[in-house]
Chain A
Amino acid sequence: MGLIVGLEEKLPSGLVLTSVEKLAGYMRKNSLWPATFGLACCAIEMMAAGAGRYDLARFGMEVFRASPRQADLMIVAGRVSNKMAPVLRQIYDQMAAPKWVIAMGACASSGGMFNNYAIVQGVDHVVPVDIYLPGCPPRPEMLMDAILKLHDQIFDEKLGPNRAKVIQEVEAAAMAAKPTHQLKGLLA
């Protein structure tokens, strides 16, 4: 991936860059190696997803790396306590870019039913999350569904000048969004 990451800075946006984007996306999504980050009961379902019946190897993901340096994807499986949050962040920082995060289960996504002083209310307070996966715990199919949605997202990821444009658009949309105090109920 290093070659492509170096190349994209020099390419003007156009046909060549979009071809490189597609190639990079195709390669990235088909060799997504997860870091082992099981914290609670969701980890059991994550292990089940890696085992024979559901077999993540079909998506080139069978190697759960114990070292964050060799991983591209962090599946935060389980509740993150305040004490675990710095550890989580350190592991995320040690992963080599490009990297993605799945918040697996209700606890990792929002704190779930543990709305108390000990649990981080959503892992997106600590690391940027690409896919939120509800469920308590989500069944292996749900995890695979989240992974496949992430694959689509990775495949469409932009590089170089195109990426800068996307970032600008996201920023503009965030500025134009309805403020939360005008929203109703749970959206507030």
Chain B
Amino acid sequence: MADLHNHDIEPTRPDLGLEAVSSAPVVNDGPAPMGKQLLGFWVTFRAMFKKPNTVQYPEVKEPTAERFHGRHQLNRHPDGLEKCIGCELCAWACPADAIYVEGAANTPENTMSPGERYGKVYQINYLRCVFCGLCIEACPTRALTMTNEYELADNSRESLIFEKQDLLAPLRAGMLMPPHPMYPEMNDTNYYKGDVPHAHPSQEVKND
């Protein structure tokens, strides 16, 4: 180490080749010719006669894409029994922890869905939900699907936690409001195969 006493410690700068990189020369050709200017103005002028592309939203609602991810819906079997079996797979799949499910056992007096269990408590927190659709992919019975409804804004946090009654599909023709017994001589497998066409008269619960 002969250079210990060398006070000239500043290293020599490498040649970065800065001299070689010269900026592009500035060329001032003056204003564009009249023809080119008019061409530019023509674009502006033409736009005045174009149809406006504004969607008049609250009055005119353009349909969303067919597979738009909107509010969820809990579906029913054709006889009105719920498809949800309370398995909580949607809650497990949810990346935002927005779903809460509590299952309970079906009893002969209180049959909400074909099979052993049904979703007793079902809540979706729309403040957390990111509408990714992983819950729909996870659902083994196609109980949970998404609708195209998107007008969800509200003024309190509580009102944006949707409960089961807010999410359940409405009763359509041929459906009976559960709880009611299963279709006669059919088990849950028949339900999933689509063998149940509509509610059977014997399924009606008589209130004595």
Chain A residues packing against B (C-beta within 8 Å): 52-55, 58, 106, 109-113, 115, 122, 124, 130-136, 138-142, 144-146, 148-149, 153, 184-187
Q: Which residue of B lies closest to A108 (CB)?
A: B127
- A136 CB to nearest chain B CB (Å): 4
B153 at the interface (CB under 8 A from A): yes
A113 close to B127 (CB less than 8 A): no
List B39-70 residues whose CB lies under 8 Å from chain A: 52-58, 61
B contact residues, total (Cβ < 8 Å): 35
Chain B residues near A185 (CB, 8 Å)?
Answer: 100, 102, 121, 123
Give Cα A142–Cα B58 distance, bound, in whole angstroms.
10
Not counting A132-B157, A185-B102, a sample of 4 additional A-B residue pairs whose C-beta atoms are within 8 angstroms of each other reads A131-B154, A134-B152, A134-B160, A184-B121
B118 at the interface (CB under 8 A from A): no
Given A113-B95, A186-B100 in contact, is the A132-B130 Cβ separation under 8 Å? no
Q: Which of A58, A130, A134, A153 touches B126 (beta carbons < 8 Å)?
A: A134
A186 close to B161 (CB less than 8 A): yes
Q: Which of B54, B154, B155 touches A53 (beta carbons < 8 Å)?
A: B54
Chain B residues packing against A (C-beta within 8 Å): 52-58, 61, 95-98, 100, 102, 121, 123, 125-132, 150-158, 160-161
A187 close to B158 (CB less than 8 A): yes
B55 close to A113 (CB less than 8 A): no
- Please name 11 pairs of A and B residues whose Cβ atoms are closer than 8 Å in the assembled complex, sorted by A: A54-B54, A55-B54, A106-B129, A106-B130, A112-B128, A136-B130, A141-B61, A141-B150, A142-B150, A142-B152, A149-B154
B153 close to A146 (CB less than 8 A): yes
- B175 CB to nearest chain A CB (Å): 27
Q: Which of A130, A131, A149, A187 touches B161 (beta carbons < 8 Å)?
A: A187
Q: Which residue of A lies closest to B58 (CB)?
A: A148
Identify the 7 closest CB pairs spanning chains A and B, nearest first. Answer: A146-B153, A110-B127, A113-B96, A136-B130, A185-B100, A134-B126, A109-B127
B55 close to A53 (CB less than 8 A): yes
A130 close to B155 (CB less than 8 A): yes
- B163 CB to nearest chain A CB (Å): 8
Give Cα A148–Cα B153 distance, bound, in whole angstroms.
10
Chain B residues near A131 (CB, 8 Å)?
Answer: 153-155
A132 close to B153 (CB less than 8 A): yes
Give Cα A16–Cα B3 distance, bound, in whole angstroms.
94
